[in-house]
């Protein structure tokens, strides 16, 4: 069942999302060659806790960290480690914050000093596809309108969309109904209603769409080992229109593609 939110609840999610946006900004300051991914995780966890929040991912199904950090052919759910970032890496950072009982969720993908035009195009296309999807979020449209818009945009740019992993509702729980696939058909799925809060999160591969799971039980990788990108916002329908609750503003003060 879908839990539609009141305006007061959306305001609470927005407060959570602001801490999340600032957490991403703190991480963005440190994205450079030589930094260990577990040090990024530490900074994020401390910042969230200093702001009275709790990292939504930590302990979720026993996930061991506050950030999912997925490098190059890793798509999502990468575990922070002693790995040191290096020039050319494609680095996806996914984070969730729980504040005052409400979760927010967002992700951003960086390129570390890349000189690959195709990597830049992958990242830009994935980010743009997120906003193309968001542009379909309004009362009366359907989930399939969002899904189709993302898939169509990505495939027109000759990249592929992962099907096994989807966006989701969220609120008091990190993952709620409905599922928000990044592929689908116009006019299908549930009708979008006032108070819906969803995380939209295209995961886009440079090569083929197929994925595999690593032996750590978490990390999802591309089957062809080509790079993948992931961008995510938490959005709500308020007064019939889409409001983006999370923000990349603090990231993009620190980082430009
Ligand atoms: Mg996420
Ligand atoms: Mg999510």
Cα distance between residue 30 and residue 215, in whole Å: 28
CA of 35 to the centre of ligand 1 (A): 22
Token pair listed for 49: 């806790």
Residue 181 placed within a domain: yes
CA of 26 to the centre of ligand 2 (A): 20
Q: Which ligand is nearest to the CA of 231?
A: 1
Cα distance between residue 88 and residue 116, in whole Å: 8
Cα distance between residue 93 and residue 112, in whole Å: 13
C-alpha to C-alpha distances, 185 to 79, 137, 148, 180, 203, nearest whole angstrom: 33, 15, 5, 12, 18
Q: Which ligand is nearest to the CA of 66?
A: 1
Predicted pLDDT at 100: 96
pLDDT band at 152 (very low <50, low <70, confident <90, very high): very high
Stretch 1-27: mean pLDDT, rounded? 98
Distance separating the N- and C-terminal Cα atoms of the chain = 39
CA of 6 to the centre of ligand 1 (A): 23
196-236 pLDDT, tens digit each = 999 999 999 999 999 999 999 999 999 999 999 999 999 99
Predicted pLDDT at 171: 98
235-253 pLDDT, tens digit each = 999 999 999 999 999 999 9
Cα distance between residue 8 and residue 29, in whole Å: 32
Predicted pLDDT at 97: 98
The CATH number of residue 15's host domain is 3.90.230.10
- Structural domain of 189: 7-252
Residue 2 placed within a domain: no
Give me the number of domains the chain comprises.
1
Nearest residue to 55 (alpha-carbon basis) of 161, 174, 142, 165: 174
Nearest residue to 211 (alpha-carbon basis) of 166, 169, 177: 166
CA of 75 to the centre of ligand 1 (A): 12
Predicted pLDDT at 251: 98
Say if CB 202 and CB 151 are below 8 A apart.
no
CA atoms within 13 A on the CB side of 1: 3
31-76 pLDDT, tens digit each = 999 999 999 999 999 999 999 999 999 999 999 999 999 999 999 9
CA of 47 to the centre of ligand 1 (A): 17
Q: Which helix (H) or strand (E) holds 167?
A: strand 167-169
CA of 95 to the centre of ligand 1 (A): 6
CA of 83 to the centre of ligand 2 (A): 24
CA of 168 to the centre of ligand 2 (A): 6
Predicted pLDDT at 38: 98
3-state class of 226 per DSSP? coil
Residue 92 phi/psi, 5-degree rounding, is -95, 130
Cα distance between residue 225 and residue 232, in whole Å: 22
Geometric angle at alpha carbon 209, from 205 and 214, rounded to 5°: 85
Residue 1 placed within a domain: no
CA of 147 to the centre of ligand 2 (A): 15
Residue 257 placed within a domain: no
Global pTM value: 0.98
CA of 253 to the centre of ligand 2 (A): 23
pLDDT band at 192 (very low <50, low <70, confident <90, very high): very high
C-alpha to C-alpha distances, 1 to 11, 16, 32, 102, nearest whole angstrom: 22, 23, 43, 18
Residue 139 placed within a domain: yes
Q: Which ligand is nearest to the CA of 92?
A: 1
CA of 232 to the centre of ligand 2 (A): 7
CA of 168 to the centre of ligand 1 (A): 9
3-state class of 90 per DSSP? strand
Per-residue DSSP letter, 191: B
CA of 186 to the centre of ligand 2 (A): 22
Mean pLDDT of all residues belonging to the chain: 97
Residue 108 placed within a domain: yes
Predicted pLDDT at 12: 98
CA of 117 to the centre of ligand 2 (A): 27
Residue 189 placed within a domain: yes
CA of 177 to the centre of ligand 1 (A): 15
Find the DSSP H helices in the chain. 7-28, 37-50, 117-134, 143-156, 249-252
pLDDT band at 113 (very low <50, low <70, confident <90, very high): very high
């Amino acid at each position: 069942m879908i839990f539609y939110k009141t305006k007061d609840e959306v305001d609470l999610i927005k407060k959570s999302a602001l801490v999340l946006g600032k957490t991403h900004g703190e991480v963005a300051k440190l994205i450079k060659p030589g930094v260990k991914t577990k040090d990024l995780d530490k900074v994020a966890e401390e910042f969230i806790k200093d702001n009275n929040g709790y990292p939504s991912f930590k302990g979720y199904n026993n996930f061991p960290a506050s950030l999912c950090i997925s490098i190059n052919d890793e798509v999502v759910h990468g575990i922070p480690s002693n790995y040191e970032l290096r020039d050319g890496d494609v680095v996806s950072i996914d984070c969730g914050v729980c504040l005052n009982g409400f979760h927010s969720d967002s992700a951003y993908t960086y390129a570390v000093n890349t000189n690959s035009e195709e990597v830049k195009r992958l990242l830009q296309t994935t980010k743009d596809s997120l906003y193309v999807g968001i542009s379909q979020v309004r009362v009366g449209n359907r989930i399939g309108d969002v899904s189709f818009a993302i898939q169509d945009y990505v495939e027109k740019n000759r990249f592929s969309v992962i099907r096994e992993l989807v966006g989701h509702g969220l609120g008091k729980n990190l993952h709620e109904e409905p599922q928000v696939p990044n592929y689908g058909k116009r006019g299908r799925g549930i009708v979008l209603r006032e108070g819906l809060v969803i995380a939209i999160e295209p995961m886009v591969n440079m090569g083929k769409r197929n994925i595999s799971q690593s032996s750590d039980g978490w990390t999802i990788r591309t089957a062809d080992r080509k790079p993948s990108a992931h961008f995510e916002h938490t959005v709500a329908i308020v007064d019939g229109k889409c409001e983006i609750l999370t923000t990349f503003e603090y990231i993009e003060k620190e980082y430009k593609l």
